[in-house]
Amino acid sequence: MKVLLIIAAILVAGLASGYEYINVRNELADQRNAIRASWAAVEDAIDKRAELVPGVIAVVERRAKTGSEVIQELNEARLALAAARTPPEKIQANAKLEAALTRLLDQAQGDTRWKKDRQWRNLLDELATAKNRIAEERQKYNDAVKQYNTNIQLFPKNVVAALAGFAREDAYFKTEQGAPRRPR
């Protein structure tokens, strides 16, 4: 009789452990998918801003006092962004575009002719909106990465993560210093 109780207890414990393993594995898979979905939103926001670059270049070329160096830098940054495939590559390419836009806006800030140009002001508004959307999506993405990374470090989830092959995600999207701002 005692043997049967011990066997029954072992079976119940095994089933409970298996059930918990499956639940934790599914939770981690959901969190990993949330990271991917959040990244897709970040990528979309970055790409939408990159689509504004040809308009920016057209206005800059029309204003001609700002050098072709900035135009070349914007084109190179946009091409790097288009070629980027992984989150770290996209983050790095976005930083290049951010720097090029910052440089352009810094150069244009002192020129009153730019401030009077309606197309330029509209582009600045669109760039500011795009920058804000990137910031919002970046925060959601970083939150998803942080939650996932925290969960794969906590017991018993760390055991399940190790057994099921879940790895730490290190592609945090940090804010850049000197981000573009709208000239006054």
Spell out the domains of the chain, with CATH numbers in brackets: 19-164 (1.20.1440.20)
Q: Which residue has the tokens 């099921």?
A: 164
Rounded to two decimals, what is the model's pTM?
A: 0.79
**Peptide bond preceding 88 in cis form (omega within 30 of 0):** no
90-106 tens-digit pLDDT = 999 999 999 999 988 88
* CA 46/CA 97 separation, integer angstroms: 10
* Mean of all residue pLDDT scores within the chain: 84
Q: Which of 17, 37, 27 is nearest to 152 (CA)?
A: 27
4-18 tens-digit pLDDT = 778 767 766 666 667
* CA 93/CA 130 separation, integer angstroms: 16
The pair of three-digit structure tokens given for residue 136, joined into one six-digit string: 């919002």
pLDDT at site 64: 59
Rounded mean pLDDT of 55-83?
A: 82
pLDDT at site 31: 95
Rounded mean pLDDT of 43-50?
A: 94
* CA 69/CA 75 separation, integer angstroms: 10
pLDDT at site 125: 93
CA dihedral for 27, 28, 29, 31, sign (positive or negative): positive
- Model confidence at 179, pLDDT cuts 50, 70, 90, reads very low
